[in-house]
């Protein structure tokens, strides 16, 4: 699975964020194997430098072989929680969609 990460100018983007995204997606989506060809990750800080809860946003878009893209998103106080929540939601979306196909 190819993972592409996009951020806005307000997200502190470093190796730890990349590692966390890869771990969250592998642990939640690995069972779908080759059906998920690519996942686009969009990370945003909606309040920028201002204080506030639930201002980190993660949107995941999974590109499936021969199917339309599936998306899931999550808002949280930290990027890590937003990424984990979106990955779990995407797992449920894929479970539901692929179960209907079989």
Domain limits, the chain: 2-101
- Provide the CATH topology of domain 2-101: Double Stranded RNA Binding Domain (3.30.160)
pTM for the model: 0.90
User: For the chain, first and last CA: distance in Å?
Assistant: 22
Whole-number pLDDT of residue 29: 94
Burial class (CB in 10 A: 0-12, 13-18, 19+), 15: exposed
Q: Are strands 36-45 and 56-64 parallel, antiparallel or unpaired?
A: antiparallel
Whole-number pLDDT of residue 19: 97
pLDDT tens, residue order, the chain (102 aa): 999 999 998 888 899 999 999 999 999 999 988 889 999 999 999 887 666 677 899 999 999 988 899 999 999 999 999 999 999 999 999 999 887 766
């Amino acid at each position: 699975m190819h993972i592409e990460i996009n951020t806005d100018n307000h997200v502190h983007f470093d190796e730890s964020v990349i590692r966390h995204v890869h771990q969250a997606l592998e642990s939640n989506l690995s069972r779908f194997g080759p059906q998920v060809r690519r996942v686009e990750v969009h990370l945003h800080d909606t309040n920028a430098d201002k204080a506030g809860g639930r201002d980190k946003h993660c949107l995941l878009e999974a590109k499936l072989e021969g199917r339309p893209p599936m998306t899931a998103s999550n808002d949280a106080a930290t990027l890590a929680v937003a990424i984990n929540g979106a990955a779990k939601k995407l797992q449920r979306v894929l479970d539901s969609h692929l179960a209907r196909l079989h």
